[in-house]
Amino acid sequence: MASLSVPFSDCVIRGSLLPRRRLSPCPAGVASLPAFLQGRLVLFMFDYVLLHVSALKSHGTKFSHNVSNNHIFASVADVSLEQSLDDVHLPKGEMWSVHKFGGTCMGTSRRIQSVADIVTNDSSERKLVVVSAMSKVTDMMYNLVDKAQSRDDTYMSALDDVYEKHMLTAKDLLDGDELVQFLSQLHHDISNLKAMLRAIYIAGHATESFSDFVVGHGELWSAQMLSSVIKKSGKDCTWMDTRDVLIVNPTGSNQVDPDYIESEKRLEKWFEQNSAGTIIATGFIASTPQNIPTTLKRDGSDFSAAIMGALLRAHQVTIWTDVDGVYSADPRKVSEAVILNSLSYQEAWEMSYFGANVLHPRTIIPVMRYNIPIIIRNVFNLAAPGTMICQRAVNDNAEGHNLESFVRAFATIDNVALVNVEGTGMAGVPGTASAIFSAVKDVGANVIMISQASSEHSVCFAVPDNEVKAVADALKSRFSQALAAGRLSQVEVIPNCSILAAVGQKMASTPGVSATLFDALAKANINVRAIAQGCTEYNITVVLKGEDRIRALRAVHSRFYLSKTTIAVGIIGPGLIGGTLLDQLRDQTGVLKEEFNIDLRVMGIAGSRKMVLSNTGLDLTRWRELQNEKAEEANLEKFSQHVHGNEFIPNTVFIDCTADTGIANHYYDWLRKGIHVITPNKKANSGPLDRYLKLRALQRRSYTHYFYEATVGAGLPIISTLRGLLETGDKILQIEGIFSGTLSYIFNNFAGERSFSAVVAEAKQSGFTEPDPRDDLSGTDVARKVIILARESGLKLELSDIPVENLVPEELRSSASAEEFMIQLPDFDEELSKKRIEAEAAGEVLRYVGVVEVSNARGRVELRRYKKSHPFAQLSGSDNIIAFTTMRYKDQPLIVRGPGAGAQVTAGGIFSDLLRLASYLGAPS
């Protein structure tokens, strides 16, 4: 027997430390050195023994140990590799299913039992189950190493916490010999860890291999416990220390590359001695080619499962987690995000890169080689089928696909900065881009995205926020001469950005996807700073302000019909019209949400004195009660910030149901901030011309919408009809109409022996007039409608340019009150009665009309006479009627007729504008 004597106070064999006394004496010849160097030498000797003893073990060496004078003597005997048990070959293929359970799944004894039940209920012929350490244990183990190398004495008590956690869990799960065996091994491992941590404590430093060795124990204990629980149920089960099987080559980028050929050989050899129907394997840990323990780094358990699935050629790999599958967007940011039934490998890869909680990209690589699907499932909801990640079906180009079938999901990377290098000296100069990214590489920064103009005038790229200063300094140093000479104009840093990526199979080659994406962002008033689109067709990437990331995510998600079109609504003026609108919304929002994918959330209601706000949407069945129960003092600025400030709702609309000039003066600022405006308030469009032109110019150059159909005809389509005529190339000659429902009612009933004052009194009593009828009889309201139509027709007129025939007798215009006016009005009936009699004698009727003469660039409001055969003479009730005389409708005017007053029809017109807005924002039309 050949022998090798290794004098040392300890020895590492099979990845664990042999029992020995506490590590206090130093090896001979070391005690005289300073304490700092003693620790370094002890650690060096640990690494030496770990390397050489493990190498001997891999060549079939047997070890025995004798403890004498703090020395261990290891004997080496030649053992033939051909001396094995029965010749058992590793079967591969469809009979294998691979499962992976993360730390959350293994968090408590109850959860471990649930995992055991899932495994035993799997009907696959053979199963390999990869497990992580119990929840939080990996962090606890890293903390042990940190404490020890920081010479923090509390590492001992922290290790006791680790021991107690596993001891108590085992006592809940196991009994009899299985419990005794596990606790014995646990105690043994803890003793070894104490010695190891003591060495680290003395050295004040832990090598990566020592740290990996300590941290990997969590997986060992999880695998042993789960294996014992499954064996309790009578199943054929064993556990695998994957450090005996998985061989990886560490790289310089905190990653490892699996050695599949060597790992496959070791797996076959392991199976010869450990054949079982169910194998519980440790995740996260592996070995180097020199048999030194290492890890697969963070998310390593998923990687372990994928590697094992590839080695076994399994029919599928199931990753068990605490969510129902892969979402179309982060559900914490988009509450309407949906679970995706399937994703291609490439789509999952892209989503992972852009921060989606799917899988690490490297996890997908092993299974892609053999087209092994990965299924993401929820361990706490077995009824959910999960998301399958697989090779895309061949018939993916089948007809019937729409845009949303190509855009599968959206993801974001937050806390990034843009670096823009630009200058005319870059154009056509070879090596500029190479020099830029060489400088970035030198500071070790991670470039997330690159965008370069085809003119080569500028290059911009995104890096993490915490790396941008070093990058900018390096670039300014590298190009100092070019900057000084003016060949480069600047190295600009744009901080606080986010990256939004749309991910989908063949998405980039599908017409309309990019247009829809950018249209959705524009209509949510979100500016894009940079764009990148890969030729691989799997993603379109944009950079935007960090503060816009959630609104952007929700805007594009809803636009592609992956969720409802959600609009935050602020109602200003809950009076007769506003209150009626709120009641209509109450009755219809459920239908809109279920049948039309439109989610209207009334986030606030503001009156002149009080307002009520909500973070999620007011209960419209109780909006009147809430105004009393939860009202606060009205503050329009606070109201605006609250309704528009909800980053989870990308679109905001304010509906002004007042007739207040002060409210109308806010429209420009609201539109500039990206707040859509809908109103029946005529004050903005009939106010000062320069303000109106400024408002319309802003509306035309932005994607913010301003709808005001109800300003002219209540619920009648007057504005939209006029726009339709103009946009199709028709020329407006004249617009003439009865625009006031009040005056329509009055003159429709002003006939026979009835006096004008009696008809006005009847209209007031029936609710057709304003509280003060002079507001209707003055003709000002009709004049405002005329000026709105004149301006829509292209005329630049002020309200003062419109002559108005005032029906209020001059003597009564200064009456103290409406009541006083009504008392005195009968004294002035004679003049209007005379006009009525004269008209009737000529076979005509009186009608109060507004006229826009486009060809003469003028308008007026007056009392006119019409033949009884004229359409204006045939109205009833409070109907409005408008006649458009155009080049196309010259001989026979185009007439729009219908109810033009009343809270129900006016609120209905506003509601129609709201639905039109939803359609423009992406809802099905």
Q: Which residue numbers are catalytic?
A: 785
Strands 844-853 and 67-68: unpaired
CB contact set of 718 (below 8 Å; sequence gap of 6+): 709, 712, 789, 882, 896
Residue pair 408/392 in contact by the 8 Å Cβ criterion: no
Strands 858-867 and 844-853: antiparallel
- Buried b / exposed e along 383-414 (16+ C-beta atoms within 10 A): eeebbbbbeeeeeeeeeeeebebbbbbbbbbe
What gap in Å lies between CA 788 and CA 687, rounded to an integer? 9
Three-state DSSP class for residue 531? strand
Q: Following DSSP, what letter does each residue of 364-394 receive, concatenated? A: HHHHHTTT--EEEEETT-TTS--EEEEPPPG
Residue pair 517/501 in contact by the 8 Å Cβ criterion: no
Strands (E), 78-135: 96-101, 126-131
What gap in Å lies between CA 699 and CA 570, rounded to an integer? 19
CA 855 to chain centre: 53
- Ramachandran quadrant class, 695 (left: phi over 0; alpha: psi -120 to 50; beta: rest): alpha
Closest CA to 184 of 199, 212, 165, 163: 163
- Ramachandran quadrant class, 325 (left: phi over 0; alpha: psi -120 to 50; beta: rest): left
What gap in Å lies between CA 670 and CA 676, rounded to an integer? 7
Residue pair 411/509 in contact by the 8 Å Cβ criterion: no
Residue pair 205/41 in contact by the 8 Å Cβ criterion: no
DSSP H or E run through 623? helix 623-629
- Ramachandran quadrant class, 462 (left: phi over 0; alpha: psi -120 to 50; beta: rest): beta
Question: Residues in the chain, how many?
Answer: 925
What gap in Å lies between CA 851 and CA 786, rounded to an integer? 7
Q: Dig out the tokens for 387 from the structure.
A: 């998301």
Question: Counting Cβ atoms within 10 Å, is residue 550 exposed (0-12), middle (13-18) or buried (19+)?
Answer: buried
- Ramachandran quadrant class, 843 (left: phi over 0; alpha: psi -120 to 50; beta: rest): left
Residue pair 447/461 in contact by the 8 Å Cβ criterion: yes
Residue pair 63/76 in contact by the 8 Å Cβ criterion: yes
DSSP 278: E
Q: Following DSSP, what letter does each residue of 887-921 receive, concatenated? A: STTSSS-EEEEEE--SHHHHHHHHHHHHHHHHHHT
Residue type, 522: A
Q: Dig out the tokens for 876 from the structure.
A: 């009833």
What gap in Å lies between CA 126 and CA 222, rounded to an integer? 20
What gap in Å lies between CA 481 and CA 876, rounded to an integer? 83
What gap in Å lies between CA 675 and CA 558, rounded to an integer? 18
What gap in Å lies between CA 564 and CA 337, rounded to an integer? 10
CA torsion through residues 607, 613, 616, 621, sign: negative
CA torsion through residues 572, 574, 578, 582, sign: positive
Residue pair 717/760 in contact by the 8 Å Cβ criterion: no
Residue pair 124/96 in contact by the 8 Å Cβ criterion: yes
Instruction: Name the residue with tokens 């009709």.
Output: 782
Instruction: Name the residue with tokens 């070879």.
Output: 430
